[in-house]
Chains A and B, each alone.
Chain A
Amino acid sequence: MIEVSDLTKYYGDREVLHSLNFSVATNKICGFLGPNGSGKSTTMDIIAGLLGPSSGSVRVCNYDVLTQSKEVKAHVGYLPDNPPLYPEMTVFDFVNYSAKLRKINASARELAVKNILEECDVVQVSNRLIGHLSKGFRQRVALSASLVHKPSVLILDEPTEGLDPTQIVLIRQLIKKLAKERTVILSSHILSEVQATCDEVIIINHGRIATKLSLQDKSHRSGYVYSFACPIDQALSWFQEQSFVEQARIYPAKINSISVDFSNDFWSKSQESLDGLSKVTEQIVAKGFPLVGIEQKKDALEELFFDVIRSQPNAVL
């Protein structure tokens, strides 16, 4: 659906993207993760046809963004980080205007606008001025406008930026719903956002792809934290000796706790169930270690993100 090859972009003499290569398959949600100024928005602008690449090629739905820009734009819905909204227009007028710009013919337009307003849950504010809406609603209105022509690719640049937690959950649900019928690329520097929404993640830093990973891949499954009633040197040694443990270390955020990452082999044998974990727990208890709690680590991606960013040249973390 989206194929990016050797994409490079210069702003003057400054190289902002360096030979990016990646592809996103149909009906997948791909997350772009990276610190501010890493090149996420520039990459999205190029994929959406708003910016031209300095070199390399980008193909969207088999159309080249440089030579077939109109076709690409017809297949792409783009929501920039700063949603392009006219505060003096009503929601309906704005989405209708967007539909006209997309050359949806008059007979189909009214139905298309009505459907997308319902899908994005903004029908109740359709006659209100955009300038009078909350940020969450404005984001939904901008999303409606970018979806009115039923694009097969949706590009969202930091779609939950500045929203309150309730609105974030709602937008997240909406994105997941929309992704059932289309390919979605979204950028964020909120790690939990990407973890909760995306199928795959591209971590980008200083204009280079630092790593690509699939969140469905078991190798990036969250580790577990084992907490004990007293100091745990023996338990730590025991974990480190086990073949099914990839890494075991002291978990500094919690007293007398060990962070354990299990190997891929362990997960494949466990076959999605908790059998493996139960057996490990039985063994710990049998060894007489004073186990008081087990919990899943929520920040596996966060750890990975910071590891990747730290390992990059010019790291500041």
Chain B
Amino acid sequence: MSVTMTIAQREFKSFFGTPLGWMSACILFLVSGIVFYIEVLMMLRSGQAVDPMSDILGQILNFLNYINIFVIPAFTMKVMTEELSHGTHRLLDSAPLHPWSIVCGKFLGVMFYFGVLGLLLLVYPSYSFIFSEPDVRVLASGWLGMMLNTATIVSIGLFIASLTKNPVLSYLGSTFFIILFLFSGFIPGAPEWYKHSANILDMSGEFTKGIIKTGTIATFIAIILIFLFLTRFVVESRKWRV
């Protein structure tokens, strides 16, 4: 476990040692700031009663869930594909580590980064504590939904990124595969359970309304575990591939 955390810590720090971490933070904050401004302005103009948590934060989180599809593959590309293309994976491969330590370390490294960003995004709902007594449970639920959505995209991205040494192919492949996965629920004839499970954006949308279903959490966790297991398999099989 300590080695996993060591790898996660290094990956987390490395994002701030390169422009990727700062640029992505800027993009996410800029987008969420614009969405926040528009939402508040529209609601004030329409004179509606506003629930700061589900109406405003919910919109921001929903929007960020979409943005993540295009941002996260850049991170999974950095932690997996860049290591393969620069040969730095040999440092990990030559150490007496279990493939799970490597995969989980990289997964957690990316999650720590988005976890910190997620915490910083709480600046938006925090204003409402000045004027009202908002429902903290909805806030926590929305944050959990975003993190589960992020973790799912990270696990899918890690799997695709572990398959190639080409960074461009890794980014485009991950983004394409994630979108394909989302839309696979719309294939005619797909079973109902699959339609629901593949649409991770819809599932995380439920959380922003304060609805937490055990089945939804289980679905998220199952998808994450499946893709992490596939990544572990790819990492382990490197020993036997050209």
Q: A-side interface residues toward B, CB under 8 Å? A: 11-12, 48-52, 69-71, 73-74, 76, 78, 80, 82, 84-86, 88-89, 97-98, 100-103, 145-146
B89 contacts partner chain A, Cβ-Cβ < 8 Å = yes
Other A-B pairs, 15, CB within 8 Å; known A84-B87, A85-B88, A100-B6: A50-B90, A50-B93, A50-B94, A52-B240, A69-B96, A73-B95, A73-B96, A74-B96, A80-B94, A84-B90, A84-B91, A88-B14, A89-B14, A100-B2, A102-B95
Partner of B239, one of A51, A74, A89: A51
Q: Chain B: which residue is nearest A72 at the CB level?
A: B96
Contact B88 A101 (CB under 8 A): no
Closest-CB distance, B93 to chain A (whole angstroms): 5
**10 A–B contact pairs at CB < 8 A?**
A49-B94, A52-B240, A73-B94, A80-B87, A80-B94, A84-B91, A100-B6, A101-B7, A102-B95, A146-B94
Q: Chain B: which residue is nearest A103 at the CB level?
A: B3
Contact B239 A78 (CB under 8 A): no
The 6 closest A-B pairs by CB, nearest first: A88-B17, A84-B91, A73-B96, A70-B96, A101-B95, A82-B87
Q: Chain B: which residue is nearest A50 at the CB level?
A: B93
B97 contacts partner chain A, Cβ-Cβ < 8 Å = yes
Closest-CB distance, A49 to chain B (whole angstroms): 7
- Interface of B, helix, strand, loop or mixed by DSSP: helix
Partner of B17, one of A48, A82, A89, A101: A89
Give the residues in chain A near B242, CB-CB below 8 Å. 11-12
Closest-CB distance, A295 to chain B (whole angstroms): 43
The count of A-to-B residue pairs whose CB atoms sit within 8 angstroms is: 64
Give the residues in chain B near A11, CB-CB below 8 Å. 242
B27 contacts partner chain A, Cβ-Cβ < 8 Å = no
Give the residues in chain A near B88, CB-CB below 8 Å. 84-86
Q: Chain B: which residue is nearest A78 at the CB level?
A: B94
Closest-CB distance, A210 to chain B (whole angstroms): 24
Contact B96 A97 (CB under 8 A): no
Contact B91 A98 (CB under 8 A): yes
Partner of B89, one of A48, A84, A103: A84
Closest-CB distance, B234 to chain A (whole angstroms): 15
Q: Chain B: which residue is nearest A97 at the CB level?
A: B10
Give the residues in chain B near A52, CB-CB below 8 Å. 239-240
User: Given the complex of chains A and B, what is the CA–CA distance between A211 and B24 in angstroms?
Assistant: 56
User: Given the complex of chains A and B, what is the CA–CA distance between A49 and B239 in angstroms?
Assistant: 8
Give the residues in chain A near B18, CB-CB below 8 Å. 88
Given A84-B87, A89-B17, A101-B6, A50 and B239 touching (CB < 8 A)? Answer: yes
User: Given the complex of chains A and B, what is the CA–CA distance between A49 and B238 in angstroms?
Assistant: 11
Give the residues in chain A near B3, CB-CB below 8 Å. 100-101, 103
Q: Chain B: which residue is nearest A98 at the CB level?
A: B91
One digit per residue, 1 when the CB lies within 8 angstroms of any chain A CB and 0 when it does not, for chain B 167-210 equals: 00000000000000000000000000000000000000000000
User: Given the complex of chains A and B, what is the CA–CA distance between A102 and B240 in angstroms?
Assistant: 23
Closest-CB distance, A309 to chain B (whole angstroms): 25
Given A50-B239, A89-B17, A102 and B90 touching (CB < 8 A)? Answer: no
Closest-CB distance, A195 to chain B (whole angstroms): 28
Q: Chain A: which residue is nearest B83 at the CB level?
A: A84
Give the residues in chain B near A101, CB-CB below 8 Å. 3, 6-7, 91-92, 95, 97
User: Given the complex of chains A and B, what is the CA–CA distance between A98 and B10 in angstroms?
Assistant: 11
Closest-CB distance, A260 to chain B (whole angstroms): 46
Give the residues in chain B near A80, CB-CB below 8 Å. 87, 90, 94
User: Given the complex of chains A and B, what is the CA–CA distance between A69 and B96 in angstroms?
Assistant: 8
